[in-house]
Amino acid sequence: MIETGVHILIRDATELDLGAIIAIDAQISGIEKTAYWQDAYAEYQRHKVNRVFLVATADDQVLGFIMGEIRAWEFGSEPCGWVFAIGVLENHKLTGIGARLLDDLCRHFKQNGVNKVRTMTAKQDNELLSFFRSQGLMAGPYLQLEKDLSD
């Protein structure tokens, strides 16, 4: 848990943060996705104009992360910011770290001419849905559709 008076720094993610990001994501999802996060970081490095990858740290320990991107014109959508991933260490949830990460991401989007932010969550992920709703996100004008290709 964060002690009172501890300074939380929100900054751009670096390659040195990947181990902590992978561990936080594995704690949340139950799956270690090393290759995924290495690829995601490489894409972030190639497309820094449109992509944002932030970490929250205290005393050089990564406590949380967020990744997003500005996307435009899919299915007639005006340019908007997308939150791809967010995670906070289990013992640091409910401390405001997630809200600060999302605020900084949204500030980046707005500084780059974007007026909307979107994300997608699993319907049954009540914790994440509650977090996003508490930050002012609600159902948008698009409907996600899918088809099972396993057969």
Right CATH number for 9-134 from 3.40.190.10, 3.30.950.10, 3.40.630.30, 3.30.1490.190? 3.40.630.30
Alpha carbon of residue 95 to chain centroid: 16
Are the beta carbons of 2 and 95 closer than 8 angstroms? yes
Amino acid at the residue 25: D
Tens of pLDDT, residues 126-144:
999 999 999 999 999 888 8
For the chain, the 3-state helix, strand and coil shares in percent, each to the nearest 5, are: 40, 25, 40
Beta-bridged to residue 146, according to DSSP, are none
Predicted confidence (pLDDT) per residue in 64-82, tens digit = 999 999 998 888 888 999 9
pLDDT for res 55: 98
Confidence category of residue 47, pLDDT binned at 50, 70, 90? confident
**Whole-prediction pTM:** 0.90
* pLDDT tops 50 at residue 1: no
pLDDT band at 13 (very low <50, low <70, confident <90, very high): very high
